Amino acid sequence: MTQTLVQLSPRARWGLGIPLALLSGLCMAQAPDTRGYLLDGAGAFVGSATPGQCWHNGAWTPALAVAPCDAVLMAAAPVVVPPAPAAEKPVAAAPVVVTPVLIPLPAQRLNFSADALFAFDKSVLSPTGMGMLDDLAKEVSGGTFDAIHVRGYTDRIGTAAYNQKLSLRRATVVSDYLVSKGVAAGSIDAYGEGESQPLTTLAECPGGKRTVLIECLRRDRRVEVDVQGTKAATR
pLDDT band with cut points at 50, 70 and 90 for residue 27: very low
* Of the listed ranges 81-95, 190-204, 205-219, the one predicted with least confidence: 81-95
Counting residues of the chain whose pLDDT is more than 70, the rounded percentage is 68
Q: Which of 77-81, 91-95, 130-134 has the highest mean pLDDT?
A: 130-134
| Cα 102 from Cα 165, distance rounded (Å) | 38
pTM, full prediction: 0.54
pLDDT of residue 25: 47
- Asked whether the predicted pLDDT for residue 225 surpasses 80, the reply is yes
Rounded to an integer, the average pLDDT of 199-206 is: 93
Is the sign of the CA dihedral 61, 63, 64, 69 positive or negative? positive
Radius of gyration of the chain (CA): 58
| Cα 224 from Cα 110, distance rounded (Å) | 6
Do the Cβ atoms of 173 and 125 come closer than 8 Å? yes
Rounded to an integer, the average pLDDT of 34-47 is: 71
| Cα 107 from Cα 145, distance rounded (Å) | 10
| Cα 56 from Cα 58, distance rounded (Å) | 7
As to burial, measured by CB atoms within 10 angstroms (0-12 exposed, 13-18 middle, 19+ buried), residue 189 is middle
Do the Cβ atoms of 199 and 143 come closer than 8 Å? no
Name the region of 207 (left: φ>0; alpha: ψ -120 to 50; beta: rest): left
3-state secondary structure of 235: coil
Phi, psi of 105 (to 5 degrees): -95, 140
pLDDT of residue 47: 66
- Asked whether the predicted pLDDT for residue 147 surpasses 80, the reply is yes
- Is residue 227 within a helix (H) or strand (E), and if so which, with residue range? strand 222-234
- Asked whether the predicted pLDDT for residue 58 surpasses 80, the reply is no
pLDDT tens-digit readout, 156-201: 999 999 999 999 999 999 999 999 998 888 889 999 999 999 999 9
Q: What is the mean pLDDT of the chain?
A: 78
Ordered structural domains, the chain, with CATH: 33-76 (no CATH), 100-234 (3.30.1330.60)
Rounded to an integer, the average pLDDT of 2-12 is: 42
Sequence-ordered alpha helix ranges (H) in the chain: 10-29, 71-75, 114-117, 127-140, 160-180, 210-216
3-state secondary structure of 233: strand
Rounded to an integer, the average pLDDT of 198-209 is: 91
As to burial, measured by CB atoms within 10 angstroms (0-12 exposed, 13-18 middle, 19+ buried), residue 171 is buried
